[in-house]
Structure 1
Amino acid sequence: MAASAPAWTFIALFLPFVAALLAPFLVSRLGDKAAWIIALAPALSFLHFCRFLGEISAGEVVTGGYAWAPSLNLSFSWFIDGLSLTFALLITGIGTLIVIYSGGYMKGHRHLGRFLSFILLFMGAMLGLVVSDSFLMLFVYWELTSIASFLLIGFDHEREAARRAALQALVVTGAGGLSLLAGLVFLWNVTGVTQLSLLVHLGDALKMSPFYLPALFLVLGGAFTKSAQFPFHFWLPNAMEAPTPVSAYLHSATMVKAGVYLLMRLNPVLGGTPAWEILLPFFGGVTLITGALIGIRQTDLKLMLAYTTMASLGLLVMLTGFGSPHAIEAAVLYLVAHSLFKGALFMVAGAVDHETGTRELPLLGGLRHAMPVTFAAALLAACSMAGLPLFAGFLAKEEIYAALAAGNPRAVFFTGAALAGNALMVAIALAVGLKPFIGQRKNTPRHPHEAPITLWLGPVVLAALGIVFGVFSPLLHAYLSSPMASAIIDEPTVVTITTIPHLGLPLALSVFTLAIGVLIYWQLERARWLMAQMLESLGPGPDRWFDHMVTGLVRFSAGLMRIIQPGRLEIYITITFILVALTLLVPLFVFDELPDMPAWPTGLLVQEAAFFVIAALGIIAVLRAADRLTAIVSLGIQGFAVAVIFLLFGAPDLSFTQFMVETLSVVILTLVMTRLRLSVSDHRPAGQVVLDATIAIACGLGFALMLLKSVGRPLDPFMTDFFDAYSKAIAHGANVVNVIIVDFRGTDTLGEIAVVMITGLAVLALLKLRVGKRGEG
C-alpha cells in the first residue's frame, strides 16, 4: 500500500470545483473560447491520476487524506485502486472533452458560464465519489451528484418538461441516497469500520451477520435508483431533457454508473451470497431487456441511446452479480468500452442535431458527405457498440459470452438475456451510427455542414480509443482491466482476452448476435411498430405511476395539513401540552420509573410555609379571577412567592432573576392585553374547562414526578467540583452561577435571549398587524 502526496491529490480532487467558480467569470470575458481554458482543470486532474497507473498496475493501493473529526473516526480520505482509478480517469478524461464540446454546442447561449459551472460541479462530485474512502465522504459526494444532476437536467428551466425531469431525477435518486445512508449505518454498526479500504478486506464477517440482508437491501436501494435499474429506470430517459453535453457525460462516465461502481466496490463484502447472485442478475437482466426493447421503439437519437444506456447498466449489474471471475472481467471490459462508444455517440447525436436542427431518425439521411468527420467517428463508435472485431466492444462481448455460456439452466437463461439485449443494441448502434449518414439526402430544418472542431474532437478521440484499446488490448489489460478486476474480486486477476477471434461457443454467439442485430436493423420500422403495439397494450408504465404517486402524496399532505394546521392557536397549544404530558408521564408509568414519595419536611419554618400558602392562593386567585387583567396580576402572586422561597433557601441570584421575570411578564402581558380586542372575561363551556384542567394537571404532575425522580438520584459532584475549581481560574469570576450562565454556557444563554427577542418581535408584528386592520376597518 502506498500513500500519495496528499496535497497534489487534494488539489486534483478540487480543481473541478475551483473551475466551477471561475467558469462564469471567464465566459463573461472570453465567450465560448473560455471552454478551452476551463478544460485545463479536468485535464490536469486527468494527468495527475495518470501518474498512479504504474503503481496501481503493480498491485499497489494509493491512500491519503486528512483527519476531520478524529474523535468520531471521520476523515476526508481517498482510496485509489484499480477500480477507483479507472473511474477517475474516465471522469476527468471524458470530462475534459465534454467541457470543450459544451463550448461549441452552447456557443452564444447567454447562460454558458452557468452551464459550465454546473458541469464542473457534477464532475467534481462524481470524482470525489469514486475515490472516497470514508463512508461520510462517499455519502456527501453521492448526494452532491444528485443535486448537480438536478441543476443540469433542469437547466432549461423555462420548459415544464425539463423541470419535471429534473424533479423526478432528484426525488428518485435522493430517496435512493437515503436508503444508501441507512445501509452505510448498518455496515458501520455491524463491522465497526467507517472506511471502504478497511471494509473490503473484512472477508465474510458481514455476510455472517443477521443484519446482512437489511444492509444489502438498503445498499441495493441506493445503487438501483442511481443506476436506473428496473423499476426505477424511468427517470433516466426523461433526463434527456438536459442539453446534449449533459446526456453524453451523464451516460458515459458519471452519475448513472455510480450505482454500478458501488456494487463493484462492495462485491468483496456483500457478494458471493445467494441473495446477491439472485437479486442482481434478475433485476439486471430485466433492465437489460426492458431498455433494449423500449430503445427500438424510439425515433429520437438521444432517446435511443438513453434506453441502450439503461440496457447496458442492466448488463453491468447482471454481470457483477453473476458470481464468477470471468463475469467480473466481462463487466470491467464492457464498462470501459461502453464509456467510450456511448460518449462518442451522444456527442455525434448532438452534432447532428446542432447542424441539421433535428434528432428524429426518419428525418435524417445522406449526411456522410456533408459531415465526413462526424460520420467516421459515428461509424467507429457504432462498430464498437455492435462488438465487431478489433474494437473494445468486441473484447467485452466475447468475455460476456465466455462468462455466461454454460450448460446449467441458470446460465442458459442469462446467456439468452444477454444475447437478446446485445442483438437489440447492435440494431440501435447501426441505426444511430450509420442510418443518418447513408442513403438519400433529406431536407432538414438547417442546411448541414461539418461541425466545428469543438463538436467533433470528442467523438473522434473516444471512437479512436475504442479501436486503440481493442487492437492494443494488452496495454488496456495491464493498466486498466486487470487492476480493476483485481479490486472488484479482491484477489490478483489477469485479463488476457484479445481481439483475435478464437473458435468456440463465445465466437459463435457473437456471430449470431450480429446476425440477429443486422436483421432487426433491416426490419427496423416493423420492429418499431411491433414494440409500439406491445407498449400500448401494457398501459401506463412507471413514469405515469410516479406522477400518480406525487399527486397522491400532495393530496394526502394537503389533507393532513388541514387537520393538524387549521389556523387556530388554541388547538396548537392544546396539542403541544398534550404531547408534553404524554412524554413526561408515559415512560414513568410504562417502565415503572415512578419516584419514591418524599416525607413531609419536619423542620419547615413558619415563613417558608407561609409563602408556600401564598403561592397556592395565587393559583386560586388566577382561577377565580373575573377578568383577564386580574388573572394576569394574580399570576404574578405565585411567581413572587416562589422567588421569596428561592431567597429563603439561599439562592439570591435565582430569586432576583425570578423577580425580574415575573415583573416583566406581568407588565408585558398587561400591555399586550390592552392592545388586543378580547372579551373581558374567559367564557368557556364546561367541557372545555374540564379538558384544559386535565391537561394542566397532567403537565404539572409530569414535571413534579420528573423533578422528584431527578433529585432522588445520588448527586454526582463532578460538575460541581469542576465549576468550583475553574470558575475563578478560567473565567475570572467569583460568582459561580453567573460564570456558568455567561461563560460556560454562554452560547446557550445567547440562544435563550435570541428566542425571547424573536418571540417579542413576533408579538409586536402581530400587534401592528391587528392595529392596522382595526384602522382599515
Structure 2
Amino acid sequence: MLTAILTGFLFSIFLVFTGKFFKGKLSLLASIVPLGLFVYFSQFISRVSSGEVINRTYEWVPSFGVDLGFKLDGLSLLFTLMITGIGFLVFAYTSSYLRGHQYLDRFYGYLAAFMGAMLGLVLSDNMITLFVFWELTSISSFFLIGFNNTNPASRKSALIALGITGIGGLFLLAGALLLNNMVGTYSISEMIGMSEVITSNPYYLIAVLLIFGAAFTKSAQFPFHFWLPGAMKAPTPVSTYLHSATMVKAGVYLLMRFTPVLGGEEFWNTTLIIVGGITMLYSAIHTIFRTDLKGILAYSTISALGILVFLIGLGTQEAFLAAAVFIIVHALYKATLFLVTGIIDHQTHTRDVTRLSGLNKIMLPVGIAGILAAISSAGIPPSIGFVGKELTYDAASKSEWLVVLIIIAIVLTKIFLLYAGFVAGIKPFTGKLPEEHSNVKMPGFLMWAPPLLLASLGIIFGVAPFIIESALVKPVVEALGADASEIHLALWHGFNMVFILSLITIGVGIALYFILKPSAKLESAAAKFESISPESLLGKFNRGFIILSSFWTRFFQNGYLRNYISIIILFLVVLVGYIILGDTSFSIDYNSLSKITLYEITTTLILIAGIFYTVFTQSRLAAVVGMGVVGLSICLIFVFYSAPDLAMTQFSIDTLTVILFVLVLYKLPRYLKLSDFKTRVRDGILSGIFGLLIATLSLQVLSEPVNKDIGNFYANNAYLEAHGKNVVNVILVDFRGSDTLIEISVLAIAAIGVFGLMKLRLKTVDRKRNQD
C-alpha cells in the first residue's frame, strides 16, 4: 500500500530526468500510472465489501507515536477509486488537451504528485501522517492552479488557495495534537474506540472547531468558499481533477472519517447542518448570476460540497447513505461537465455561455456527454443522480431538526443546481450554431471519450444501482458507523412525498432554465453586492492589517540595532519584574550560597572595567579589546567553578570573535554619528536593571535545592545510548540533536546571507541610489 502511495511521487521524480519523452505522442503513456493504481485498488473491492478492513503499518517516529499507518475500508476505497479512476481519464485527456505544451512533462509531474498526496491522505490512519499528506495536496495544488505562471491572475489564485487551505492545515495539526493529548494516540482507528472519552473531555469543543477549520477551508465552505472560483484560472484538467472529484472533497472525507470519533453530539451535528445549509443554498443561487462556464461549475461544486456537509450533519443512516451515493453522483457528472467545458474552451476559445449554442452539430459525442451529465445533475431518471436526489430528500424528510425548513432549503438548492447543470451541459449544444463558431472542429478521441465514459456511467449506475450498492455504497455507510444491512438501492421507490418533491424540483428547474437566460445584466447585478462578499471583506481586513503592520514596522523596526535590543530588554524587564513582584513566595536563601572569594572579586572588577571601557571608548578597536577582556574574565569564572571544557570553548570562541571583529571593522567607514551622553545613560540604566534582574533570578535558582535526576539520567545513558564519554557533547549531538540541527541551520542560512552580501555587485545606478 505504501508503494502505491509513493508511485505518484516516484513518477514525478522520474519525469525530472525523462520528461522530454512525455511531451509528444508518448504523453499518453503517463496515464498508465493512475490506470495501474486503479486496477490495484479494484482488487480490494470484494474483500472490503465483505466487511474486511485492510491495515498496513510502517514504523516512522515510534518514540512520538507517529507511524505510517494506512487503512483501507469502504470510505477510503471509494476515494482511492475516484482518485485513480478519474485520474486516469484526466491524464489521458491532458495528453490531447495540452498537446505540444512546452511544460507538459512538468504538468504531469504536478498531477502525479497530487495523486500520490491524495492517496496518502485518504488512506492514512495516523493523524500526523494525514496532516503531512494534507499539506502535500495544498502544495501540489498550488503549482497546478498557478501552472500558467505568466498570468498574474493565476499566480494570485494559487496564492489565495494556498493561503486558505494552508491555514486549514494548521488547524488540522493543532487538532491532531489536542486529540493525542486527550487519548494518547494519533491512530484514528484507536480514537474510534475511545469516542466517549473524547466527547466527554472539556476540550472536545476546541478539538471539533479545529477539525471544522481544516475541513471547511479545504472543502470551500462558507465563508471560506471564495478560493475555489478563483482557482478556475487553472487548466481544465486541474479543475476536473482537483475541484470536482478529489481535493475539494478532502474536507468532506475528513468529516466523514471523524464522524465515528467526534460525531453524534449536538454541537457537531448542528454546526454542520447550518454551515452546509448556508453553503449549498448561497452557492446554488450564485450559479444563476454567472456567464462563464467554469464559474457556473465552480459555484455548483461549492453547493454540492455544502450538501455533503449538510448530510453528514444530519447524522442518520439515511443521510450517510445519501452522502455516499451523492459523492459518486457528483464525481461523475461534475468531472464530465468540467471536461466538456474544457473541450468547448479549447475548440471555440470562449467559455461565455451567452455566446455558445448549437455545438451539437459539430461535436455530437461531446454534446451527448454534456446532456447526460446535465440529466444526472438534475436528478432525472434513469440517471444515478435521480437515485441520489431521492435519497437526499428522504434523509431530509426524516430529520428531527426543523424538517420543513431543511426540505425547503434542499429543494431550492436542487432546483438551482438543475438550472446550472442544464446551462453548462445542454445550452452550449442546442439551438442555432453562431456564425463565429462555424469553423469549429471536432476534438480528438482522447478529449471526448473520457467525459462520454463518465456520463455513461451515470446512466448505467442509475439503471442498475446494484452495481455500486454492495461494492461501494454499503461499505461507506458501515465505515461511518451506521448499519447498512437493510440498504437496497433502486431507481423506483414508489409514489410518495419524496417522489413528489423530485417532480417539483424537475418541473420548476426546467421552467427556470427556459425562463431565466444567463446574461451580462444578471452578472452585473450580482457584482453590486461584491463589496459585502466574504472575499471583499477579507480583502479589506488584509489591507487594514498591512497598514497596521507598516506602522508597527516603522515604529519598532527603524533600522537601529540598539533600539531593537532595547525594546526586547525593556519588555523582558517589565514582564519578568511584574511576575517577581507579584509572587509572594519568591525569596533567596543567602545562607545556602557559597562564600565570595578574592579571585571572584578581582575577576569581577576586571570584567566591570572592561564593560565600562567598551561603552565609553570612541575607538572601535578599543571596544573590541574591551569585549575581549570581558570574554576572558568569563573564562576565568568557568575555571573557578570547575568547568575547564566550557572555559576552553569560551576562550576559543572569544578569540575567534575578536579576530573577526577586527577584520570586519577594518573595512567599515568611520562613525557618522556617535550616540550622545543621554542615550548612553538611558541604555546604561536599562542594562543595569536587566542585569540586576538576571542576577536576582540566578541567585534564586542557586538557592533552590538541587534536583539531579536529569543529570543522573544523562550521565547514566550517555555511553549506553549514544556511545559517548563526554556527556555535554552527547547532550548537544544526540539527546538535544534537534536543537543543535536547528542552530546549525540558522548559522548556515546566516552564512549564505553574508556570502550573498559579500558577492553583491550593484550597478552604478543602484549604488548611487543607495548612497542618496
Instruction: Tell me the residue number matched to 2:227.
Output: 235
Residue 335 of structure 2 aligns to which amino acid in structure 1?
G
Task: Output one character per residue of 1:455-512: Cα deviation in whole Å (capped at 9) or x when no partner.
Answer: 0121121111111211221121101111101111344444213013511111111111
8 Å Cα contact 1:98-1:245 kept in structure 2: yes
**CA 1:585 to 1:366, structure 2 compared with 1: closer, same or farther past 3 Å?**
same
**In structure 1, the residue corresponding to 2:68 is in which secondary structure?**
strand
8 Å Cα contact 1:15-1:42 kept in structure 2: no
Residue 238 of structure 1 aligns to which amino acid in structure 2?
G
Distance 2:45 2:218 in 1: 28
Question: Cα distance, 1:179 vs. partner?
Answer: 1.9
Task: Output one character per residue of 1:256-288: Cα deviation in whole Å (capped at 9) or x when no partner.
Answer: 111111111111222222222222112211111
Distance 1:757 1:112 in 2: 36
8 Å Cα contact 2:5-2:117 kept in structure 1: no
Instruction: State which of 92, 99, 102 in structure 2 corresponds to 1:107.
Output: 99
**In structure 2, the residue corresponding to 1:451 is in which secondary structure?**
coil
Instruction: Tell me the residue number matched to 1:256.
Output: 248
Distance 1:313 1:389 in 2: 22
Instruction: Tell me the residue number matched to 1:451.
Output: 443
**CA 1:277 to 1:40, structure 2 compared with 1: closer, same or farther past 3 Å?**
same
Larger Rg: 1
Please report the TM-score for the alignment, with normalisation by the length of structure 2. 0.89
Instruction: Tell me the residue number matched to 2:588.
Output: 595
Distance 2:672 2:413 in 1: 80
Instruction: Tell me the residue number matched to 2:683.
Output: 692
Instruction: State which of 58, 74, 78 in structure 2 corresponds to 1:66.
Output: 58
Instruction: Tell me the residue number matched to 1:362.
Output: 354
Instruction: Tell me the residue number matched to 1:299.
Output: 291
Task: Output one character per residue of 1:296-341: Cα deviation in whole Å (capped at 9) or x when no partner.
Answer: 1212222111111111111111111013211111111111111011
Instruction: Tell me the residue number matched to 2:216.
Output: 224
Distance 1:729 1:12 in 2: 36
Distance 1:352 1:753 in 2: 55
Question: Cα distance, 1:43 vs. partner?
Answer: 1.1
Instruction: State which of 303, 318, 328 in structure 1 corresponds to 2:320.
Output: 328
Instruction: State which of 550, 554, 558 in structure 2 corresponds to 1:566.
Output: 558
Question: Cα distance, 1:616 vs. partner?
Answer: 5.0
Where does 1:698-737 land on structure 2 (aligned, <5 Å)? Answer: 698-712=689-703, 713-714=705-706, 716=708, 719=711
Where does 1:358-757 land on structure 2 (aligned, <5 Å)? Answer: 358-405=350-397, 410-444=402-436, 447-525=439-517, 533=525, 536=528, 539-579=531-571, 581=573, 587-591=579-583, 592-598=585-591, 604=597, 610-611=602-603, 613-615=605-607, 618=610, 633=625, 636=628, 640=632, 643-644=635-636, 647=639, 669=661, 676-678=668-670, 684-686=676-678, 688-712=679-703, 713-714=705-706, 716=708, 719=711
**CA 1:70 to 1:446, structure 2 compared with 1: closer, same or farther past 3 Å?**
farther
**In structure 1, the residue corresponding to 2:71 is in which secondary structure?**
strand
Distance 2:15 2:52 in 1: 36
Distance 1:564 1:749 in 2: 30
Distance 2:283 2:220 in 1: 10
8 Å Cα contact 1:328-1:489 kept in structure 2: no
8 Å Cα contact 2:718-2:727 kept in structure 1: no
8 Å Cα contact 1:27-1:34 kept in structure 2: no
Question: Cα distance, 1:167 vs. partner?
Answer: 1.4
Bigger shift: 651-660 or 113-122? 651-660
**Alignment gaps of 5+ in structure 2:** none
Distance 1:430 1:743 in 2: 64
**In structure 2, the residue corresponding to 1:206 is in which secondary structure?**
helix
8 Å Cα contact 1:16-1:41 kept in structure 2: yes
Distance 1:485 1:666 in 2: 71
Distance 2:540 2:412 in 1: 32
Instruction: Tell me the residue number matched to 2:269.
Output: 277
Instruction: Tell me the residue number matched to 2:144.
Output: 152
Question: Cα distance, 1:754 vs. partner?
Answer: 9.3
Bigger shift: 150-159 or 693-702? 693-702
Residue 168 of structure 1 aligns to which amino acid in structure 2?
I
Distance 1:653 1:538 in 2: 67
8 Å Cα contact 1:355-1:447 kept in structure 2: no
Task: Output one character per residue of 1:434-457: Cα deviation in whole Å (capped at 9) or x when no partner.
Answer: 222221111235722322111012
The alignment yields a C-alpha RMSD, in angstroms, of 3.7
**CA 1:576 to 1:765, structure 2 compared with 1: closer, same or farther past 3 Å?**
farther
Confirm whether residue 352 of structure 1 aligns to residue 344 of structure 2.
yes
Distance 1:531 1:745 in 2: 60
Distance 1:305 1:132 in 2: 30
Q: Count residues with an aligned counterpart.
A: 764
Confirm whether residue 130 of structure 1 aligns to residue 122 of structure 2.
yes
**In structure 2, the residue corresponding to 1:455 is in which secondary structure?**
helix
Task: Output one character per residue of 1:349-383: Cα deviation in whole Å (capped at 9) or x when no partner.
Answer: 11122222222222222222311111221122111
**In structure 2, the residue corresponding to 1:444 is in which secondary structure?**
helix
Bigger shift: 637-646 or 473-482? 637-646
8 Å Cα contact 2:357-2:428 kept in structure 1: yes
Instruction: Tell me the residue number matched to 1:341.
Output: 333
**CA 1:586 to 1:477, structure 2 compared with 1: closer, same or farther past 3 Å?**
same
Distance 1:220 1:619 in 2: 56
8 Å Cα contact 2:314-2:399 kept in structure 1: no
8 Å Cα contact 1:483-1:493 kept in structure 2: no
Residue 701 of structure 1 aligns to which amino acid in structure 2?
L
**CA 1:755 to 1:525, structure 2 compared with 1: closer, same or farther past 3 Å?**
closer
8 Å Cα contact 2:178-2:207 kept in structure 1: yes
Instruction: Tell me the residue number matched to 2:193.
Output: 201
Task: Output one character per residue of 1:561-611: Cα deviation in whole Å (capped at 9) or x when no partner.
Answer: 22221111221232344355557655544444443224786694x666555
Please report the TM-score for the alignment, with normalisation by the length of structure 1. 0.89
8 Å Cα contact 2:22-2:30 kept in structure 1: no
Distance 2:181 2:730 in 1: 40
**CA 1:22 to 1:298, structure 2 compared with 1: closer, same or farther past 3 Å?**
same
Question: Cα distance, 1:17 vs. partner?
Answer: 1.5
Distance 1:763 1:407 in 2: 65
Instruction: Tell me the residue number matched to 1:4.
Output: none
8 Å Cα contact 1:587-1:593 kept in structure 2: no
